[in-house]
Amino acid sequence: MKRRLRLGMIGGGQGAFIGAVHRLSARMDDKYEFVAGCLSSTPEKAETSAKELGLDLNRSYPDYKIMAEEESNREDGIEVVSIVTPNHMHAAPAIKFLAKDIHVICDKPMTATMGDAYKLIEAIKLSKAHFFLTHNYSGYPVIREIRVLVKNGELGKIRIVKGSYLQGWLGSKEEGNKQAEWRTDPKRSGAAGSVGDIGSHAMHLIEFVTGLKCKTVAADLTTFVEGRQLDDDASIMIRMSENVKGNLSISQIATGQENNFCISIYGEKGALHWSQENPNYARFSKVGHADQIITRGGAIKNENSYAPIRIPPGHPEGYLEGFAQIYSDAADIILNHKDKNKLLELLPNGESGLQIMKFINASVNSSKNNSIWTDLNSI
């Protein structure tokens, strides 16, 4: 009989957006059972949230430290914890649970500050447990398919990478919007606004698909909304490993845009284009050939892509399934699936999380210094 992993959650109570996304996604492939949580930093809200979700109130905790102690001492204690709080509350709970050898699945970015990021990396090294980040777009089937095309040399030597992530929902003051308030608060979000929130996704996905690493950035971050403390728009030139050049356009004040996230990879022999708002398709352009459309579960499918589909082609999969794939792969790794080592190559972890933290902070530093080229290793 298949065993479900016992899952706990930090954050994600009443009024939270991402907590419900994680709970739905964790249940999708029936590999987890949600049994415990510290769902809010406000004890009353934590208890109310637990009641709404049908959680045993004896395992609804007012504080993550109490939860870590009590759950680690139970025979039926949690094996995995999801951390779905604002950025400033990622590091401390993750470090606490890792010290108890409880696996951690954490929302991105890894932490709010570089200091916390380095502390978390040390905790990961000392723990027997795994640490995963939910850069969910890396779980999309078509993304994993085009990653294999790049790896197999179908594009030839990569020359240029381009990413664009445009939203419009922060085009005005965030009064009364809980999701907007913490994302534009440096105490909770960290050094960056749009660059940390969605730029982190763009940079991670380009690195994931190409296998290259961002080395230096020249960034121009802007705050357009009066009174806002963090950037809401950014233009970033990037230099990657293997002398690849590129740029990112990031905005959360692009009027009329919803979640317009696109990447393009240009090589000597071909190019790939993918758009998140039409995520089940990618365009493959090869020199001297007609363009090909790569579809989810279609004819161009590589057995090494680890891109399972849950429903037949032509029936859309997207955001929730991307999260679900991260959770599913994490479960297989924890339970020592035969493909564990190959799955470990696919999932965002502490190493890739630290890389993105360096990208975020290098971008901020560059912009503060007249967009000077800034080495990520200087962070």
Q: DSSP class of residue 77?
A: -
**300, pLDDT greater than 70:** no
Helices marked H in the chain — which ranges? Answer: 18-28, 43-53, 64-72, 91-99, 114-126, 141-151, 178-183, 186-189, 194, 200-210, 319-334, 340-344, 350-368
Q: pLDDT tens digits, residue range 318-349?
A: 999 999 999 999 999 999 988 999 999 999 99
Q: What is the DSSP string of 169-222?
A: TTSS--TT-HHHHHHT-HHHH-S-SHIIIIIHHHHHHHHHHH---EEEEEEEEE
Burial class (CB in 10 A: 0-12, 13-18, 19+), 99: middle
292 SS3 class: strand
Same fold, 5-134 and 139-368: no
Query: Is there a contact between 82 and 7 (Cβ–Cβ < 8 Å)?
Result: yes
Q: pLDDT tens digits, residue range 244-287?
A: 999 999 999 999 999 999 999 999 999 999 999 999 999 999 99
The architecture that CATH gives domain 5-134 is 3-Layer(aba) Sandwich (3.40)
229 SS3 class: coil
**365, pLDDT greater than 90:** yes
Which CATH class, in words, describes the domain spanning 139-368?
A: alpha beta
3 HSE (CA, 13 A, CB side) = 10
Confidence tier at 180 by pLDDT (50, 70, 90): confident
Please state the domain extents for the chain. Answer: 5-134, 139-368
